[in-house]
Structure 1
Amino acid sequence: MKTKTQIAILDDHYLIGEALKSILENDKYQISKVYQDYKDLFNDLENDLCKIDILFLDINLNSDIDGTEICKIINNKFPEIKINIITSFNQKSLIIEILQNKISGFMIKNINKKDLLEGLDKIVAGELYIHSDIYKLLQSDNNKSRHNEKPILTKREKEVLVEIFNGLTTVEIANKLFISKYTVESHRANIHSKTGTNNLAGLIKFALDNNLIL
């Protein structure tokens, strides 16, 4: 029998945690525990009381530290855990701040079941999943960029960057632009090299700061 991916949820709203649990548990995923207090989570992790592959983390917790700080601690002490942010916050500055951390997913709490499960599948596959509404928020008012640097990307690289920003995978970009996935991978490598970034979160921030996504 295939081992199920173990998911834990940290959200101080009991009903949210239970709702997520009822949606997520299936033949691929199992909820190992729902937490309302980060201290209980850390206690279980430090004492090896709970196996967690993916943590659903609310960044707006009613506690002495927020989700951003919890994210940093987990990345430092338990780097094997993939973190999926799930929140009702829609502040652009906060989203960009969160993206500075090593996360595997970013979802909004009104996400539908289809997007939730598809996003989770992408996270398990090692991809960074960011919900389309988050992308739209990041893209809003981007024409008011703080910089006017000369574009450094070729036309095709810009096309690939736009589709990356829209959340498409390498294969999806290849199909949309009628090129091979290896060509897309080459463009992605060039984009990261030219922008001095090494992950999607850093690339998104660079693109926003330098008005590369219009």
Structure 2
Amino acid sequence: MINLILAEDNELVRIGLRTIFKDKGVQIVGEATDSEELLSLIKSFDAEIVLIDYTSFGFEIDVIPKALALRSNLKFVAITPVQSGQTLIHALKSGVVSHIKKDCSIAEIVDAVNETAKGKKFFCGQILETINKEGIDVEELGDTEFSCEPIALSQREIEVITLIAEGMTNVEISDKLFLSKHTVNTHRKNIMNKLGVKNTAGIVMYAVKENFTTPNKYLFSTDE
């Protein structure tokens, strides 16, 4: 039996999830309607999985690392509306193990919890499509480390990094900064070389680390 906590502010959604997991080898030990309540439940119950919509009212992405500080073996499965690649990166870096969408099939929702409980990662087809489209390396996200050595970035490179982290494409950045697409692409390559990262995910992680942007700022982005 898998002990599960539901973290969702919408009562109708919680009722639906209760119904889905009935007789599926999952015991719902608590239901949280906001971050504070979730942390309280984690202290009180020995749960293995938290199924969370971190975009729902009363929750924020920062509750995940706080929860993991209380119980490090806890595993988070996110179930949200459509999210951008940048938001997925923030979620995965915050401690989300598996990610599905609210309009996924019942089988996918159940599989996500079961597979995560076994120590595996699970992403529904739509989330995988976004991950692949954005070039996100899920395994690399958990292992990437940034050097403590100072990195010499120009003001223009910082601007480009910030706009990349905000989800802008090279074309959008070139329009905003009045640069050619070739120049923006050159900046992107130079930035990746300086940071020692291989993809957009690494640039976004650096931007968050250096407070050029924040995990919560683009939480509700629905760009694909």
TM normalised by structure 2 equals 0.59
**Partner of 1:104: helix, strand, or coil?**
strand
Q: In structure 2, how many angstroms separate the alpha carbons of the residues matched to 1:128 and 1:102?
A: 12
Q: In structure 2, how many angstroms separate the alpha carbons of the residues matched to 1:116 and 1:27?
A: 11
- Deviation, 1:44, is 2.9
Does the 8 A contact of 2:50 with 2:77 survive in 1?
yes
Greater relative contact order structure (CA < 8 Å, 6+ sep): 2
- Deviation, 1:128, is 0.9
Structure 2 segments unaligned to the other structure (5+ residues): 145-196, 202-224
Tell me the equivalent position of 1:87: 80
Map Cα deviations across residues 160-206 of structure 1 (whole Å, 9 max, x no partner).
Answer: x9xxx7xxxxxxxxxxxxxxxxxxxxxxxxxx7xxxx484x86xxx7
Aligned pairs for 1:35-184 within 5 A: 35-46=32-43, 48=44, 50-63=45-58, 66=60, 68-140=61-133
- Deviation, 1:123, is 0.7
Map Cα deviations across residues 121-175 of structure 1 (whole Å, 9 max, x no partner).
Answer: 2111110111121111122365xx9xxxxxxxxxxxxxxx9xxx7xxxxxxxxxx
Q: In structure 2, how many angstroms separate the alpha carbons of the residues matched to 1:90 and 1:103?
A: 14
- Deviation, 1:56, is 0.5
RMSD across aligned positions (CA): 2.8
Matched, 1:209 2:200: yes
Map Cα deviations across residues 2-39 of structure 1 (whole Å, 9 max, x no partner).
Answer: xx111110101111111111101225111112221222
Q: In structure 1, how many angstroms separate the alpha carbons of the residues matched to 2:46 and 2:70?
A: 14
**Partner of 1:80: helix, strand, or coil?**
coil
Map Cα deviations across residues 102-124 of structure 1 (whole Å, 9 max, x no partner).
Answer: 22211111110111122222111
User: 1:16 aligned to 4, 9, 13, which one?
Assistant: 13
Tell me the equivalent position of 1:182: none
Does the 8 A contact of 2:79 with 2:99 survive in 1?
yes
Identity of aligned residues (%): 12
Q: In structure 2, how many angstroms separate the alpha carbons of the residues matched to 1:26 and 1:90?
A: 30
